[in-house]
Chain A
Amino acid sequence: MATKPSVNPTPSQIADLTMMTVKPRSLWVDAWYRLIRNKAAVAGMIVIIFFLFVAIFANQLAPHNPLQTNAGKSFLPPAWMEVGPNGRPSDPAFFFGTDNLGRDVLSRTIYGARVSIVVGFLPTIVIVLVGSVVGLLAGYKGGQFDNILMRFTDVIYAFPDLLFFIIVMVTLRETFIGKLLNGLFLLFMALAIVNWVGFARVVRGQVLSLKEKEFIEAARCIGASDARIMFRHLLPNSLGPIIILSALTIPGMIITEAILGYLGLGLTPSTNPNDIFITSWGALMLDGQAAINAQPWLILPPAICVSLMVLAFTFLGDGLRDALDPRLQGTQ
């Protein structure tokens, strides 16, 4: 088809040239640049990557076997104290000291990172998938499905989360499911059940506002199927809130695991050196709180790690929110 010389005079040609010299940028790339300009978010990312690294290479990084008891070396003080309250001198080989059985606190803390990372990520991945699909369907199709979903989420919201976890963990602990992965599997399930509805609701809300937009109407006009509209048009435009919510859900999961571990209801500490999940920060804090006055080095490393991790995800989540804020969409 022949192009008629268009009405465009010089100003638009200038605009044209300006545009040609700028590299094309998707909104994702723009958001990424905004994110890495945010110092707190970058610090958060660094901390998270550090713990990720620690969790994956715990075997290599831990100076001792976290399960190995050392007779006569219980309650050793950390390296920077010369003598502990029980009169034993510190041993440079046990940097953070030892616990009541003479196990290395540093090594146990390093192994504890595994549980926190996995508890943070694994259930989140599951609930993002489930919550997004349900939210998409509820928001786009509406009707009875949507109605049932909303009533269901009301019920889950009304029930106190921690009480639910405690009930589940107490009642199902001794069953087959309760013993899978030292109790972590049951914890994942409980966390997922409580949290997926939040995602479904957020996605649903996003879809409800998006589906009135003209580009969805345009998609129907060109003959797009419902599946295509949901996954090619609605989902990519709902990803911002999904990503933000994920980053803000993960610390909640980590804290929940720590609280349950502290209550003795989380991971069952292992004595089998072949287990991947030997102990968790929550379980370490439970060990440490018994001797909190005399041997604070037991509770401080896991407590500080939990706090760092939660702060890191919160900073990252806030950074993501600023970077992906829908009000900034469409601006350059």
Chain B
Amino acid sequence: MTSTEVLLQVRDLVKHFPIMRGTLIQRQVGAVRAVDGVSFDVFHGETLGLVGESGCGKSTTGRAILQLYRPTSGSVIFEGVDLVGLKGEDLRKMRRRMQMIFQDPYASLNPRMTVGQIIGEPLIIHGIADRKEAQERAEELLRLVGLNPAYTNRYPHEFSGGQRQRVGVARALALQPAFIVCDEPISALDVSVQAQVVNLLEDLQAQMGLTYLFIAHDLSMVRHISNRIAVMYLGVVVELADRHELYNHPLHPYTQALLSAVPIPDPVIEARRQRIILKGDVPSPINPPSGCRFRTRCPLADTICAEQRPEFREVAPGHWVACHMV
């Protein structure tokens, strides 16, 4: 199912949010370095999991790829086109190929529009359908995501969280994109419906050959949906590997710590599991540590870690890591 054909190439992606001060004359006094040099490829038809603690820059990475935030620097090459410089009509055309599913199903649907209008809007914007055709397509899409097609004239507040998330999925699918950024699509849902939404996303992927960047804040969530997993810490990707490789041979101390927190279903192994408790808090992305971002909390940190930023390199085929000690 997955190929080695690259769909999306992210290179040295940087997104800094300037911090402005002053009332009349504004000047920049610093920046939130939300994403600070991230590189990875996404292959056709795969799911790349992107994992990290809250605030480490996962959403910003996803939005910068989709050009919802314009990157500070770096390149995002999608189907051979660099999106970073793209504007106006060219960018709008590319939007048909890549969509997003949002974290909060309560905030991601316009409360004043019916579900039919929400799902049909992309078709009208891109001139693919008129009002009536958009309505019909919305009904088809509702059916596709497992909702009753008669719901098109309903408003979002009449639905449960899981149903709303399905509506969000239907909207993302309306333009028949190739690539979807799923930004923690199940984190805000009840545990009982999380599996349903994940199954839906997997079914749709199989049916339509979709490629996902699946963002989650803990490893257990992405474990079974991802083919490969990238681990982020404070604006950088510290490790990226095939999911089996990552689970069985985590190389970066941060990945090891994260994995040690994931419960193991086997009671014998679970009893022997040793949790690595990280000391301290995540530093501020406004003033991140020099050298390796993780050094303030790393059990293996050495002097070189403060002086040099570890290079993100391929230590085994397809296994990338950024650590001086590996």
- Complex CA–CA separation, A231 to B310 (angstroms): 48
Known: A6-B200, A222-B95, A330-B156. 4 other contacts (CB 8 A): A3-B144, A7-B196, A26-B114, A218-B100
Task: Report the nearest B residue to A237, measured CB to CB.
Answer: B112
- Determine if B71 is an interface residue (Cβ-Cβ < 8 Å): no
* B112 and A27 contact, CB distance less than 8 A: yes
Q: Which of A16, A24, A28, A215 has the most CB of B within 10 A?
A: A215
* A4 and B175 contact, CB distance less than 8 A: no
Task: Report the nearest A residue to B142, measured CB to CB.
Answer: A3
Interface string of B79-106 (1 = CB under 8 A from A): 0000000000000100110011011101
Selected from A8, A213, A221, A224, the residue in CB contact (under 8 A) with B66 is A221
- Determine if A236 is an interface residue (Cβ-Cβ < 8 Å): yes
* B146 and A222 contact, CB distance less than 8 A: no
Interface string of A208-225 (1 = CB under 8 A from B): 000001110111111111
Interface string of B189-217 (1 = CB under 8 A from A): 00000011001100100010000000000
* B157 and A332 contact, CB distance less than 8 A: yes
* B158 and A217 contact, CB distance less than 8 A: no
- Determine if B225 is an interface residue (Cβ-Cβ < 8 Å): no
- Determine if A15 is an interface residue (Cβ-Cβ < 8 Å): yes
Q: How large is the interface on A (under 10, 10 to 19, 20 to 34, 35 or more residues)?
A: 35 or more
* A221 and B99 contact, CB distance less than 8 A: yes
* B207 and A26 contact, CB distance less than 8 A: no
- Determine if A147 is an interface residue (Cβ-Cβ < 8 Å): yes
Selected from B103, B114, B148, the residue in CB contact (under 8 A) with A214 is B103
Selected from A214, A237, A332, the residue in CB contact (under 8 A) with B108 is A214
* A3 and B153 contact, CB distance less than 8 A: no
Interface string of A2-31 (1 = CB under 8 A from B): 011011100000011001101011111000
* B92 and A8 contact, CB distance less than 8 A: no
- Determine if B36 is an interface residue (Cβ-Cβ < 8 Å): no
Across the interface, which residues of B come within 8 angstroms of A219, CB to CB? 110, 121
- Complex CA–CA separation, A19 to B142 (angstroms): 15
Selected from A24, A147, A233, the residue in CB contact (under 8 A) with B114 is A24
Task: Report the nearest B residue to A11, measured CB to CB.
Answer: B192
Selected from B157, B158, B171, B207, the residue in CB contact (under 8 A) with A329 is B157
- Complex CA–CA separation, A219 to B104 (angstroms): 15
Across the interface, which residues of B come within 8 angstroms of A39, CB to CB? none
- What would 23 A/B residue contacts be, using CB atoms closer than 8 Å? A3-B144, A3-B146, A6-B146, A8-B146, A19-B151, A19-B154, A24-B154, A24-B155, A25-B155, A214-B102, A215-B107, A215-B110, A217-B63, A217-B102, A217-B108, A218-B102, A222-B174, A223-B126, A224-B121, A236-B112, A236-B113, A237-B111, A329-B111
- Determine if A171 is an interface residue (Cβ-Cβ < 8 Å): no
Chain B 130-168 residues near chain A, CB threshold 8 A:
140, 143-144, 146, 148, 150-151, 153-158, 160, 168
Task: Report the nearest B residue to A27, measured CB to CB.
Answer: B111
Q: In whole Å, how far is B168's beta carbon from the nearest beta carbon of chain A?
A: 8
Across the interface, which residues of B come within 8 angstroms of A4, CB to CB? 203, 207
Q: In whole Å, how far is B114's beta carbon from the nearest beta carbon of chain A?
A: 7
